[in-house]
Every structure is written in C-alpha cells, then in structure tokens.
C-alpha cells in the first residue's frame, strides 16, 4: 500500500503531508503541533521506524483520546504523557499540553512538523489555536528544526480569531532570514476563505 494519500490541489492538508513525507527518515523526530482527530499524527506515524519518535500535542483531552484511538486502530501503541519532562523514548507520544511548551519535551532536532491550525472539526469551536501561543511554538521550533527539516502550517481564515492568527503566522514566517530558511506559500487561488499552506524548510 502506498503511503502517499490521494490528493487534489484543493486539499492543502494532503499537499502538506506530501511535502513532509519527502524529508522523513524512519529514525526521524516528528511533531504534530495539533493532534485533533489524529489524521496528521497517523500519517506521520506511518513513516516512522522503530527508532523514530512522534510527539503529538493537543490541549483538548478529547483530541488526545481520538488520536490514541486512531493510532491504536492502525497498530501503533501511543504513550500518553502527563508531565512536562524531556522525552527520550522512541515511538508515538501523545502530549496533553499546549504546543507552546514543546521545548520542555524535545531531546533533539526535528525533521518534520505539522501544525493544522484552527478548531477541531466536530469539536468545541472556542478551543481554537491562537496567534500568541502559535507564535510561541514557532519561535521554540525554529532553532530545533534540523537542516533540511520542514514545518508545514495549514492556516484557516474566516472563523473568529482566524484572520488574526493567519496574519501573525504569515508575518512571522515572512520575516525568517533567507540565509537560513526557505518559506513557500500555497493557496487555492480561486476560492475565497480557502485554507492556505505555509511550508518552512531549514536550509542545508
Ligand atoms: N491535525 C488534526 C487532525 O488531523 O485531525 C486537526 C487539528 S484541529 C484543526 C486544531 C487542534 O488544535 C484542536 O484539536 C485544538 O484543540 C488544538 N489546539 C488549540 N490550541 C492548542 C495549543 N496551544 N496547543 C496544542 N493544541 C492546540
């Protein structure tokens, strides 16, 4: 079975996953900044070998549970992390904490990270990612991204707080030094309020 999901250009999440897959080695360290229903975490977990590590964050316990169920159904055995300590063990770790605290858990460089921002589909629309904490997470991640490593961010305008977060994240990424990072943006050009994709790569 191919690991590459079927894609159409209008599904920027799938494009995000494809661009991350290109840089994932089996022993890589991967981050899902927003576990949600676990679709992105499952995608990342499928690319890991026994020595790789996936850290998935979410502030909602229901999202951590949904991700655990999805991973377990696919044969992965995720570990739940309840305390803010450095994580050395390989495998999938589900962290019930904000992604802005990622530095407390990381023990080495990150090869690929995804941040599917906004609110959990089918969940509480009040519990959205927010510009301030998203920026904290990004600023913690930049020095942790390994050479050739990538971060994919899916940005959703339109919901309350969404436009502000999109603008703040775009501003942050546009300001990254060109000597150290390449940043691309992909957007569905003929649809209003469509999500857009930012991919940041640390230069080799
Ligand atoms: N990647 C998910 C998937 O595959 O289903 C979708 C993620 S959903 C669009 C956004 C998630 O971000 C929500 O589940 C929400 O609880 C979570 N979230 C909001 N603020 C957060 C924070 N500071 N740290 C971690 N997760 C956060």
Give the model confidence (pLDDT) of 72-117 as tens digits: 999 999 999 989 999 999 999 999 999 999 999 999 999 999 999 9
Q: How far is the CA of 59 from the centre of ligand 1 (A)?
A: 7
In angstroms, the CA 157 to CA 167 distance is 9
- Report residues whose beta carbon is within 6 angstroms of any ligand 1 atom: 34, 36-40, 57-60, 63, 98-100, 116, 118-120, 127, 129, 133
Give bridge partners of residue 153 from the DSSP assignment: 115, 198
In total, the chain counts a number of residues equal to: 204
Higher pLDDT, 147 or 161: 147
Best of 17, 34, 57 for a ligand 1 pocket test (most atoms within 8 Å of beta carbon): 34
For each of the domains in the chain, give its residue range(s) and CATH number, in order of start: 12-123+141-188 (3.40.50.150)
pLDDT computed for residue 5 by the predictor:
64
In angstroms, the CA 102 to CA 31 distance is 9
Q: Which residue has the tokens 């975490």?
A: 41
ipTM of the prediction: 0.98
DSSP-based three-state secondary structure for 123: coil
The residue contributing the CA closest to ligand 1 atom 5 is 37
pLDDT computed for residue 126 by the predictor:
82
In angstroms, the CA 150 to CA 147 distance is 9
Q: What is the pLDDT of residues 115-160, one digit of tens each?
A: 999 998 887 788 899 999 999 999 999 999 999 999 999 999 988 8
For all residues of the chain together, what is the average pLDDT? 94
The residue contributing the CA closest to ligand 1 atom 2 is 36
């Amino acid at each position: 079975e191919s690991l590459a999901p079927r894609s159409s250009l209008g599904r920027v999440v799938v494009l995000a996953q494809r661009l991350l897959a290109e840089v994932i080695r089996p022993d890589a360290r991967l981050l899902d900044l927003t576990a949600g229903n676990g679709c992105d975490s499952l995608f990342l977990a499928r690319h890991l070998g026994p020595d790789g590590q996936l850290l998935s964050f979410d502030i909602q316990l229901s999202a951590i549970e949904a991700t655990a169920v999805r991973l377990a159904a696919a044969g992965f055995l995720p570990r739940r992390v309840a305390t803010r300590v450095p994580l050395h063990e390989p495998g999938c770790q589900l962290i019930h904490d904000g992604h802005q605290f990622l530095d407390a858990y990381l023990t080495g460089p990150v090869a690929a990270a995804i941040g599917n921002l906004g609110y959990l589909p089918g969940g509480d629309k009040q519990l959205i990612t927010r510009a301030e904490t998203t920026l904290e997470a990004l600023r913690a991640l930049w020095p942790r991204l390994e050479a050739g490593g990538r971060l994919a961010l899916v940005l959703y305008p339109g919901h309350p707080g969404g436009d502000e977060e999109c603008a703040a994240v775009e501003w942050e990424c546009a300001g990254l030094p060109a000597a150290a990072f390449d940043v691309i943006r992909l957007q569905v050009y003929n649809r209003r309020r469509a999500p857009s994709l930012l991919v940041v790569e640390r230069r080799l």
